Structure 1
Amino acid sequence: MKALLLVSELEDYTISFASGVAQHLDVVLAVPRRRYAHLASSFDPAVDLHLLDWPRHRSLSNPWFLYQLTRLIRREQPNLIHLLSNSTLWLNLAVPFWRPIPLVTTIHDVEIHPGDMETRTLPGWAPELMVRQSGHLVVHGEGLKQLVLDRYAKSADHVHVLSHPSILRYAELARRQKMTPREADGTIRVLLFGRIFAYKGLEHLVRAEAILKDVLPNLRITVAGRGDDPRIFQALMGDAGRYDIRNRFIEDTEVAQLFLDTDIVVLPYTEASQSGVLNLAAAFGKPVIVTDVGELGGTVQPNGLGMVVPPGDAKELAAAVRTLADSGELRNKFGTNALQWAKGPNSPERVGGQAAAVYREVVGSC
C-alpha cells in the first residue's frame, strides 16, 4: 500500500508523522523545497521525499504548480492521499482532478486561535472547502472530533482520532552533538516556547512570576519564539531581571539547548487544540504545567506528564510552578513518565502504525 502525503508547513510535525508512517507502508511525501530542503536528513530514509517548488499563496505560478503536482500523483498512483493540514488555498482547485483516490485531511485547529495572525492570512473559506472535499478527516483528540462533528456534515466513522506524535528530532540532535545541560546552580528555569500569540497565555505567566517574586527568588523565566513582544507586559513583571526574552526565530541547536537547560516547560494557554511544544518537551523528559484547554489536560493528566491548572488563573499557575520548583523528586517523576510516553505509546512509529490502520480502513471502505 502507498500513501502520498502533502503539506506546505508544520515541519516538525511532518517529520515525526511521515517517518512514523513509513515504518508500516510506502510513503511519498511532497513538500515545499524552501521549507524542507535543509531538513531532508531528518526524515527516516524510508520516506520518499519530493521537494517541490511550491509557490506562496499569492503567487501566479500556482496553477502551473497544481498541474505538476497532479502529474506527480498520477505517476506515483497512491492508494490514498493525506493532506496533513487543511491550511491551504490552491490545493482546493486540484482535488477534483485527483479523484477517485481517497482524500484524508488532518484538522489541527477547528477554530483559529485568538491572536494567531499568521493563520488569519488565509481566506476563511479555503480550509472549510478542503474539509468538505475530503472523504475522511483526522483530528488529534476526542474533544476535537466532537467539534468537527458539530461543525461539519461528516459521519462519526469518517472522522478519525490519532495522537499528535512526539517530536524527537531536537533531542536526537542534542544527542548527536553531545550537548549537555547547563550546570546546576540552584536556579529553577521555566520555559515558554513557540509562537507567542495572545492565546499562549504569556500575561498569566508574567502575573504568576510576580506572585512568586518573594517566595521563589531563584526563578528564571525564558520566553523564546517569534510573535508578540513579551515586553508589553513589563509593567506586570515582579522582576524584569528574571526574564530571558528571545523574541525571534529560534535555530535548531538553540531549541535543543533551551529544552536541555529548562526544569519546567509551561503551556499557560487560554485556548488550544493540541500542542507540538508538549510533544517536544516530552522527548527531553521535561515536566510540564498546562492549562485545561483543548486536548492538553486530557493528555497530560492520564499520562502523568505534569500538572494541570485552570486557564487564566495566575494564582493556580504560580502554585503549580512553586510545587514543581520545590520538589526535584516530583519533577523527575513527571519527566520520566514523559520520556517513556514519548518513546513508547506516543512515538512516531506507534502513531504511524495507527495511521496506517486508518489508511487501510479508508481504502477498504471505498
Structure 2
Amino acid sequence: MSQPRRIMMVAPHFEEYALFLSVALAGHADVLLIVNTAVLEAEFVGRVMPTHPRLDVRHSAFASAAELVRLIAAMRRFRPDVLHWQEPSGLIKAAFAAVTVVTAGRSARTAVTVHDPVPHAGRDSRVAARLARLRRFTRARVDRLFLHGQACVDQYQRDYLRSVRPDRRVRLTEHGILLPPPEPRPSPPAFRALMFGRMEAYKGLDTLAAALERLSDDGRDIEIEIAGLGPEMDRLEARLRPLPGVTATNMFVPAVSLIDRISAASCVVLPYKEASQSGVLAAAFAGGRFVIASNVGGLVDLVDHGSNGLLVPPDDPAALAAALTQAATDPALRERLSEGAARTAARRLDWRRIAVQLLSDY
C-alpha cells in the first residue's frame, strides 16, 4: 500500500509508549489515538506531555459495550488507512480488539504490536489463559504483527506458532525510549544501582537478593534502591531491608519520581529470568544509564555486553554479584557504558526513526 494518510492507534495498555509513537507517526499522517486518558495524564503528572497538530487523542476505558460502540463509530468517522492495536491484556479489552479488527474488514490495513509473544510466568500466564482464544483470533486476522527484536520473533515462532515456517506478516520494531528526563544529567560520582518496576516472579528479584547477600557476606556492600510494587516485593522485602546499602521502596512510584531515581543511579539492574521487550530497559537508556541485565530474551537484542551494559546468565547470583562489583569498582567502565546507553537511545530507540520504519512496514 502507499504511505497511510490516516492511522488509528488503539492502546488499552502501554499508554506512554503509544503516545510517543503516535506523536512520531503524526509527523507523516493524521493519527487518532484511543487511550485511557486518565491513565495517560497520571503518567505525565509533573511532566510535559508531547503532542502534535495532526494527533487527536480520545478517551476510552475499554470497559463497556457502549464504549465499544463509540470506538467503532470513531473508526467509521475517521476512516483510517491503518488500524493499529497495542495488544490488550484482559478479556473485555481483547474482545474490543477482535471486534474492531473484524469490523475494519478490508477497508483498512490492520496491525497488532505484540509486546509479549507468550505470557510470562506467574500472574501473566493466568490472565493470558483466559483470553487465549480471543488473542489467537485477532493475531490470526491482522495484516501485520509487530514484535520487538529477533528474540521475540523467535519466541513467537517457536513457542506460540510451534512452527519453523515463518509468519510472513511479522515485522520487527524497536521499543522506543520511555521516561526521558527533561535534560541529560551526569551520572553520580559514587556507584549506585537501581531496580524498579512491577515485581513479578520472572523479574528475578530473588536472584538479586541472593547476589546482594553474597556481597554482604564478603564485606562488599552495594548501594542500591529497589522500588516498585508486586508479589515478589511483598515476599522479599523483609529479606532485603536488613542488607547494608539496600533501600527497598514497596510502593507505586510515579513516573516523574522514577525519572529522578534513574538520574540518581549509575545503572539499572534487570536480573530477569525471562524477558521479551522491556520498558524498564528503554527508560534506563533514555536517561543515559547502562544496565546490568540477564542474558535472556529480548534484552539480548538491545544490550551489547561491554558497550551499553553488562550481561550475566539468568538466575545466577554469583555472576550478578560479580557484575555489580565490576561496575562499582571501575569508574571508567561506568562512563563508557553510560555513553553507549545514551548512543543507543539516540539512534536505535528514537521514536521518529521507529515511526518511519513502521510506515514502510504497514
**TM superposition score category, shorter chain reference:** 0.7 to 0.9
Q: CA deviation at 1:117?
A: 4.8
Between the aligned partners of 2:81 and 2:322, the Cα distance in structure 1 is 52
Q: How does 1:109-258 map to 2 (within 5 A)?
A: 109-117=116-124, 120=127, 123-150=131-158, 151-152=160-161, 156-167=167-178, 169-172=179-182, 175=183, 184=189, 186=190, 188-213=191-216, 215=218, 217-230=220-233, 232-233=235-236, 239-258=242-261
Identity %: 25
Q: CA deviation at 1:247?
A: 1.6
For structure 2, the residue ranges without an aligned partner over 5 or more in a row are none
Contact 1:22 1:44 in 2 (8 A): no
- Matching residue of 2:36: 32
Q: 1:54 is aligned with what amino acid?
A: A
- Matching residue of 1:84: 86
SS at match of 1:301: coil
Q: CA deviation at 1:51?
A: 2.3
Q: How does 1:316-335 map to 2 (within 5 A)?
A: 316-335=319-338
Q: CA-to-partner distance for each residue in 1:52-92, whole Å, 9 max, x for gaps? A: 23243xxxxx2221211111111111111110224332212
Between the aligned partners of 1:137 and 1:181, the Cα distance in structure 2 is 38
Change (3 A) 1:280 1:27: same
Change (3 A) 1:229 1:158: closer
Q: CA-to-partner distance for each residue in 1:323-354, whole Å, 9 max, x for gaps? A: 11111111111111111111123211111111
SS at match of 2:94: coil
Between the aligned partners of 1:171 and 1:306, the Cα distance in structure 2 is 20
SS at match of 2:31: strand
Is 1:264 the counterpart of 2:274? The answer is: no
Q: 1:98 is aligned with what amino acid?
A: A
Is 1:97 the counterpart of 2:107? The answer is: no
Contact 2:193 2:266 in 1 (8 A): yes
Is 1:74 the counterpart of 2:100? The answer is: no
Between the aligned partners of 1:231 and 1:86, the Cα distance in structure 2 is 26
Aligned partner (choices 10, 13, 18) of residue 22 of structure 2: 18
Between the aligned partners of 2:317 and 2:6, the Cα distance in structure 1 is 49
For structure 1, the residue ranges without an aligned partner over 5 or more in a row are 57-61, 360-366
- Bigger Cα displacement from structure 2, 299-308 vs 136-145: 299-308
Between the aligned partners of 2:10 and 2:237, the Cα distance in structure 1 is 42
Change (3 A) 1:215 1:240: closer
Q: CA deviation at 1:15?
A: 2.5
